[in-house]
Amino acid sequence: MLNREDMMELTRRMNLSRTSFTRIAGCYCDETGEIDGTFNRNFLQLSAADRKKNMDLAKTVLFSKTNEELKEYDFSVRSQEKESVGRLMEAIRQCGLKNDALLDVFYEQISDRYHGTSSYGIFVFHDRYDIPVKGKDKERQWESEEVYEYLIGLICPVDEEYEPGKPVWGFLYPSFKDRSCDEEHIAIYQREHRAGLEKLNSIFKK
């Protein structure tokens, strides 16, 4: 089960003064899943307005109803086949979104399985959170003993100008539990339950 306070700890850092997002990457697809174009940017080089807009998208996953819209699933990379989506995502996480070839394969994995009704975008964020240690009084100290490196992924409808709407699906990988990285699980966000997402979810729910 996900802990709401863990999710809120991540979102409290998602503002213009505290964000540690390193990169944002993604692609745009038509309603058939055909990829129209890709992008890959250093997050801090975006304008302040674009940083805020994209942070608001990423926060949708973590702000959603914990254990209702956002649920945790077993997702051990070690237990999956060599060419599985789990190993692909782990490679993307470790390279910090800097390998476009890996990302292209990931976009194809998603677009082949997602059935939308209009044009949409796939967005992926990379972040490193230097988790501060809490003392016995639960007050944060400056020291840290773990860096939580993670991805947030989203599918959003987009308009003719490629402006994204509210995400309909997303994930947090690896999961974040008890203020620590949980590499055995992934958290999947789904705004509503519909048949078009079942095939997509099946590649993550091993």
Spatial CA neighbour of 203 closest among 98, 105, 118: 105
The C-alpha atoms of residue 57 and residue 64 are separated, in whole angstroms, by 11
The C-alpha atoms of residue 160 and residue 199 are separated, in whole angstroms, by 27
**What pLDDT shows up at residue 172?**
97
How many Cα atoms are found within 13 Å in the side-chain-facing hemisphere of 112?
9
**What pLDDT shows up at residue 71?**
94
**What pLDDT shows up at residue 204?**
81
User: What is the DSSP-derived secondary structure letter of residue 101?
Assistant: H
Let me know the angle formed at the C-alpha of 58 by 18 and 114, rounded to the nearest 5 degrees. 160
**What pLDDT shows up at residue 191?**
86
Torsion over CA: 43, 28, 76, 1 (sign)? positive
The C-alpha atoms of residue 35 and residue 145 are separated, in whole angstroms, by 41
Task: Report the chain's terminal Cα–Cα distance, integer Å.
Answer: 17
The C-alpha atoms of residue 51 and residue 197 are separated, in whole angstroms, by 28
Domain map (residue ranges) of the chain? 4-202
**What pLDDT shows up at residue 82?**
46
**What pLDDT shows up at residue 202?**
83
Taking only the tens of pLDDT, the chain with its 206 residues reads: 899 999 999 999 899 999 999 999 999 999 999 999 999 999 999 999 999 999 999 999 999 999 999 999 988 665 555 458 888 999 999 999 999 999 999 999 999 999 888 999 999 999 999 998 875 445 555 556 789 999 999 999 999 999 999 999 999 999 999 999 999 999 999 987 766 688 888 888 75
Classified as helix, coil or strand, 176 is strand
CA-based R_g, the chain, Å:
16
**What pLDDT shows up at residue 79?**
54
